[in-house]
Structure 1
Amino acid sequence: YSDTKRSVPSSASPTTPTTPGGSRRRQSTKEIALEKNDFIAPQFTDKLKDLKIKDGESLTLKAVVTGDPEPQIQWLKNGKPLSSSDIIDLKYKSGVASLNINEVFPEDEGDYECIATNSEGKESTKCKLTIIPMEEKPKETGPSKPPRIVDHLTSGSVSDGSP
């Protein structure tokens, strides 16, 4: 960023009349230095990373972003915008953008992108989420054992309203 100089009119000052019944005004220009632009385009200081998690686990994606004015955050999954819901919780606080899913399913797998935008520019970070399917319990092989009686039933009576 560099300082910018601009010519602006200075206040006009009347001069002594030089012709009968008339007057002239003189106008000059001054150069003033404008302060440099202190705004900063968004920049991710901690980017999203590819992740593999198991089906049914919770997911948190986090990215740390700086920028002035404070950036607006948008999340995409496979190029489509996401919004907070009962399933997905999107937050942005103190420069940390996060996406939380309490329990992931195979359909949550895909490419996630966090986009930060302000008046100075736009920046994004991406990651690939892979869901590892739940392992099925191996079926028991061999002969199955018949059920075994552990206790015999006993008769009893209970009054109405008794626990």
Structure 2
Amino acid sequence: MSTQAPTFTQPLQNVVALEGSAASFEAQVSGFPVPEVSWFRDGQVLSAAALPGVQISFSDGRAVLSIPAVTAAHSGRFSVRATNGAGQATSTAELLVTAETAPPTFLQRLQTSTVRQGSQVRLNVRVTGIPTPVVKFYREGAEIQSS
């Protein structure tokens, strides 16, 4: 059988993962002799020791890089390079780690208040959300500044 340079029959795909969840890259490569596979992150050689929690495997032409619980520090450009005596091929994809989000929700709504002109009024609300919402009060379209 003649030599065949590596080719990716299934290239890497971009991954968007929620912080704390699992993420993985998978590529299928062919070539003869069987290519050696190396992984890179942002252009630097990657090993399981270099990026804690990363698991790397290569079997039957299937290259897999798995991260069981991603953090923002895992975000970046990942590449897998397959090399044999006939040549090399590279496939690249991005990992974007996003934080959990939740829309603002009122736990305690604003109550109608009647006060005498010139008196102080205290406006209270309780709001939850991820990230923590910024609360602003308005009267007739103009923002009320706290005093």
TM-score norm. by structure 1 comes to 0.61
Indicate yes or no: 2:81 matched with 1:115.
Answer: yes
CA-to-aligned-CA distance 1:39-84 (integer Å, 9 cap, x gap): 1000000001112111111011100000111101000000011112
Within 1, Cα distance between the matches of 2:44 and 2:101? 30
- Give me the whole-angstrom Cα distance separating, in 1, the residues matched to 2:55 and 2:69: 12
Aligned residue in 1 for 2:93: 127
| SS in structure 2 of the partner of residue 41 of structure 1 | strand
1: CA distance, partners of 2:43 / 2:104:
38
**Separation in 2, partners of 1:105, 1:138:** 24
More strand by share: 2
Kindly report the root-mean-square deviation, in angstroms, between the aligned alpha carbons of the 2 structures. 2.0
Rounded to whole Å, the distance in 1 between the matches of 2:73 and 2:33 is: 36
Radius of gyration: which is bigger?
1
1:110 alignment partner AA: G
Name the residue aligned to 2:24.
Answer: 60
Runs of 4+, deviation exceeding 6 Å: none
Matched, 1:87 2:91: no
- Does residue 41 (structure 1) correspond to residue 5 (structure 2)? The answer is yes
Gaps of 5+ in 1: 1-36, 145-163
Aligned length: 108
Residue by residue over 1:122-158, the C-alpha shift from the partner in whole angstroms, topping out at 9 and shown as x without a partner, is 10000011111122685764379xxxxxxxxxxxxxx
Q: Distance in 2 between matches of 1:89 and 1:43?
A: 23
What secondary structure is seen at the aligned counterpart in 1 of 2:73?
Answer: helix
Asked which structure has the greater RCO (Cα within 8 Å, sep 6+), the reply is 2
CA contact (8 A) 2:76 2:94 kept: yes
Structure 2, unpaired ranges of 5+: 109-123, 126-147
CA distance, structure 2, for counterparts of residue 42 and residue 57 of structure 1? 32
